[in-house]
Amino acid sequence: MDNEKYSNYPLSISAILGLIEANDIAIPEIQRPFVWKKTQVRDLIDSLYKGYPTGYLILWKNPNVKLKDGTISSGKKVLIDGQQRITALMTAVAGRTVFNSEYQEERIKIAFDPIAALSGEPDAEIFAVATPAIRKSKRWIPDIAELFKTSYSPFDFIPQYCEDNPGIDQRTLDRIITKLKGIANRMIGVIELSENLDIDIVTDIFIRINSKGTALSQGDFVMSKIAADEKHGGNTLRKVIDYFSHLAVVPSFYDYLASHDTAFAATPYLQKLKWLKDDTETVYDPECDDVIRVAFMHKLKRAKLSDLVSLLSGRNFETREFNEEIVEHTYEEFTEGVMNVINEYNFKRFMIAIKSAGFISSRLVNSNMALDFAYTIYLLLRESNEVPVEDIKRYVQKWYVLSVLTGRYSSSPESAFARDIRRIRESGVVAILKEIEDAQLSENFWNVALVQNLSYTSTNNPTYLVFLAAQIFFNDVSFLSNNVPVRELIALGGDVHHIFPKQYLIDHHFDKSLYNQEANYVFLDRPVNISIGKKGPNVYLKEAKERCLKGDSEQTGLVNSIDKLYANLETNCVPLEAMEMDFNSYETFLDKRRKMMAAKIKKYYYSL
């Protein structure tokens, strides 16, 4: 029936593996890292051997596509749930290699103990992950895949095993091995989603069913979709995205990739990734979802990844038909978008814009969403010539900082992306940025909302992170230091400290929610921290002032002139009144400093 969302039927494991081998069912994640533990593979084989249920597989038949000559091309079936189970069977039973978490190929070999199987004991260890000790044992069959090969001969194997293990006879061993090989005939339930289902629904089903196992996203669905499309080069494009994301984190993987994936190495894409072998960037390491999103947004001017799946399937949003021309056009645009994202010049120029705005460390970034859209802005401006090349950096910086300060992409980011892309498509980046500034960056925002946003305890609060970026942007010297900049302390992974020392406030009965306030946080060098100790600011700041007035420079690294002291306090948004403040004035101090921090952030934004 046309309105049925799915059908279900059983298939044997051997039939499923055969269909995959014949390419009738696409299992796109076979070349992505296998996330199951080896013991999970063992447990799956054990469950099949004992006849336990092992869940359903879910297939989605891609929509049929109208070709240019008017004929219909039948869509391929894609496995969208059960990929880990099937991959486990392909490596354990069919002897295929899988990629481990380091993107290196390996076989997961499951060993079988016929004598334990014969015992009938419920807790007997019948299967195990093969180890050196098991491989040396004559009792264990170290790799069950050998038994499933067409070259397997019971006439050679069984007599030899029984000779090595006199406690079991040939007939009994043959019966046990026949039962093991019966795994191939075990039936697994298959649910096949209708090709007539709206792709939004299929995407939703994909995410929901996979949320119970390894967490997956819409980006994973896109990867599954393109990996199954060898005709348009989607399988290779998936590798480009996957390898780029992995190399961004593990540059040393390049040499292994070049020598082990010879098919990919033969494509021009390997050279496009070569620059990553020397990459040291850690502020923004785009994951697969980030690459997909930025490529899609800047080239196809859309943001919903379910729309990308629809376009890759050939959907015409006006006629609701599926056409080959749309598939081809989408792959062309999307591939070009991916190439733009992974391009060395583009990526490095974008990172220069972000880092020169003060975001020099990954600890200053609590989400990639704002970075994704900022990179999209960069690529849009590069492509459109809307502004002079020298002005691109400024617009990228302002869009990024504004979106972080206002939490523009912190909730329902895809909807916010879609809204902004649509407006930019109609009016351009410059005009929309101006509209957003006029609508959101009012005096009330700077003087009230921003001050309130600095009333938290977390060092990951976006507003506080922007304040630190502002200090780096202005090249501020750290608190009470003579010459050590905040930039250096953050880059070296220094710790945040307290202006009113933590122990000082604890001794005066302040709880954690009060002494750990963002307005009490400051970066300072070790000599400064030692000089402060557990003293209140009314003590240690007076000591600093006296030292400066005397011109005492014996304590290396500490601020040593009165002018520098006053400038340092202003730079770090510490009110001069703090020199007279003890624990009784702590909350007054917090209020004053929050206002100074908000003012600094405002000055910073309009300096970009």
555-595 pLDDT per residue, tens: 667 888 999 999 999 999 999 999 999 999 999 999 999 99
CA distance 141 to 179: 15
pLDDT tens digits for range 47-66: 999 999 888 888 887 766 55
Given this model, what pLDDT does residue 601 score? 98
159-167: average pLDDT: 94
Q: Once rounded to an integer, what is the mean pLDDT over residues 439-463?
A: 95
CA distance 317 to 171: 64
Q: What's the pLDDT at 260?
A: 87
Q: Is residue 574 within 8 Å of 593, Cβ to Cβ?
A: yes
- pLDDT digit string (tens) for 224-265? 788 878 889 998 999 999 999 999 999 999 999 999 889 999
pLDDT of 416: 96
* Average pLDDT, rounded, for the chain: 90
Burial class for 64, CB neighbours closer than 10 Å (0-12, 13-18, 19+)? middle
The SS3 of residue 304 is coil
Residue with tokens 């006199």: 166
pLDDT of amino acid 66: 53
In this predicted structure, what is the pLDDT of residue 204? 74
- Return the ∠ at Cα 328 (arms to 324 and 332), rounded to 5°: 170
CA 329 to chain centre: 28
Distance CA 580, CA 538 (A): 5
Pick from 113, 109, 100, 78: nearest CA to 34: 100
Letter string b/e over residues 359-381, b meaning 16 or more CB atoms within 10 A of that residue's CB: bbbebbbbebbbbbbbbbbbbbb
Q: Which residues pair with 6 in a beta bridge?
A: 193
What is the rounded CA–CA span in Å between residue 36 and residue 585?
A: 56
Between CA 224 and CA 463 the distance in angstroms is 37
Helices (H), 8-98: 13-21, 38-49, 83-92
Predicted local distance difference test score (pLDDT) of residue 69: 53
Three-state SS at 315:
strand
- In DSSP terms, 424 is beta-bridged to none
| Contact call for residues 195 and 61 (beta carbons, < 8 A) | yes
Least confidently predicted of 220-234, 348-362, 407-421:
220-234
Asked whether 337 and 294 are in contact (CB, 8 A), the reply is: yes
pLDDT score for 81: 80
Per-residue pLDDT at 25: 77
Burial of 67 (0-12, 13-18, 19+ CB in 10 A): middle
Q: What is the pLDDT of residue 214?
A: 52
Residue 287 Cα to chain centre, angstroms: 4
Confidence of residue 78 (pLDDT cuts 50, 70, 90): confident
**Is a pLDDT exceeding 70 seen at residue 438?**
yes
Collect all residues with Cβ–Cβ distance below 8 Å to 527 and sequence separation of at least 6. Answer: 481, 555, 556, 557, 558
Residues contacting residue 98 through CB under 8 Å, at least 6 positions apart: 30, 34, 87, 90, 91, 105, 106, 107, 108
CB under 8 Å to 128, separation ≥6 — which residues? 42, 110, 111, 113, 134, 140
pTM equals 0.83
Identify the top-confidence range among 4-8, 525-529, 534-538: 534-538
Evaluate whether 313 touches 327 at the Cβ level (below 8 Å).
yes
Over residues 432-457, mean pLDDT: 96
The residues with which 7 forms a beta bridge, in sequence order, are 192
Three-class HEC string of 193-259: ECCCCCHHHHHHHHHHHHCCCCCCCHHHHHHHHHHCCCCCCHHHHHHHHHHHHHHHHCCCHHHHHHH
Residue 494 pLDDT > 70: yes
Does the pLDDT at position 1 exceed 50? no
Q: What pLDDT sits at residue 54? A: 87
